[in-house]
Structure 1
Amino acid sequence: MALLQMIGFGPTGWGGLLLVAALMTLCVTGVALLIGAILGSLVAWAKLSGSRILRTIGGTYTTVFRGVPELLIIYLVYFGGSSAVTAIGTAMGYEGFLGLPSFAAGALAVGIISGAYQAEVFRGAYLAIPKGELEAAQAIGMNRRLRFRRIIGPQVFRFAIPGIGNVWQLSLKDSALVSVTGLADLMRTSQVAAGSTRQHFLFFIVGGCLYLILTSFSDRIFTSAEKRANRSMPTSLGQA
């Protein structure tokens, strides 16, 4: 009974704080995925461009941020960003240390990592578009903007959904590392609850279960989105 009270919503329970922390985890992951989508789109465009310099820059980005440990990137963004903010504050006459907000640092770091993976997802989705459709659109006089709106954009989105779903799951788990910056996410709150009550096994199991709920629910959403995007395609593509 005492254990149930600890994870409940009473005055001595941690249930409410854990749910708020789970919401914080979703917010960090959502913002990170958006940042990653912007970066990934630009990097994919660079890797598909005819410029050797842009292809090199895009390849370097994906190689570095897929190869360096995620925790190291979070540290670099958090402490490097704090140093940059402090330097700007000093230049403006402010004295003292200015730390980068934990949420901003965490979302940016996970977003940079996510961007490296999303770039490959978008690049693969673009290459999956039949060349004949692009050639036909060009032959009938479609300009680049119209080709993107009518052909490239919709099909890249459709082909990219499964990959983006995998990147979301990866980012959701990577967000646990943001707890090192002090952000009260699900991992950090589970650690605090475990340390305060000395029930480490209980709260880490509860935290793990909440992560599984988030990932399972997310998987259902992406599966539904994939089916909806493929509803006008042949049965072999439109159904799992």
Structure 2
Amino acid sequence: MYQPPHFREDDLGVQHALIRAHPLGLLITTGASGLMANSVPFHLDAAASEKGTLRLHLARANPQWRDLADGAELLVVFQGAASYVTPSWYETKRETGKVVPTWNYAVVQVRGAARVIEDADWLLAQITALTTQHETPREKPWAVSDAPEAYVKAQMKGIVGVEIEITAIEGKWKVSQNRPIADRASVAAGLGETAGQGEMTDLVRRYGGLAEADKES
């Protein structure tokens, strides 16, 4: 990943937080099936290895798991908040007019070694952990055990588990840090008035030093 120094995010806790907040990752492999990418929900176990371990399952009919079993190189991309940034928000536009559009985004890329698992107990634990992760915030959470046991066992026959011990992880938070402070403030203001951009607004303010400036004032 292209990494200008001012956009790097090397804090493992911050990287893990993005994975948990945006767990639908893009699993990318190359092998006998050729170059392949599939969107898959991941469950992160941060304590299972030095950089964390990802667990997932794939449909048995999906040939990608066979590439993983063959030791194919893999990359997983987790896309966080993203937004278009119009140059109309920049104070620099009013001062010089020398501005262009851009995109702000936060992303984590993971590389690691995969292990294909077909053990029924492991698969049940994985789908239970993944389900619990997403159902817990609901007022009336659904549990895997709510479905008939025979039905769950039948469904599990159609999936294959994968465990990825993370060996390399990179974070890139491109959130207007390269702009003058006045531009950062005006981008945060513009995003704050844009529907659905609350997360990016917070990132621009935090990484742009605006939150600290508010405290000092």
Fold match, TM over 0.5?
A: no
Structure-2-length-normalised TM-score:
0.24
TM-score normalised to structure 1 length = 0.23
> By percentage of residues, which structure has more strand?
2
Larger radius of gyration: 1
The structure richer in helix per residue is: 1
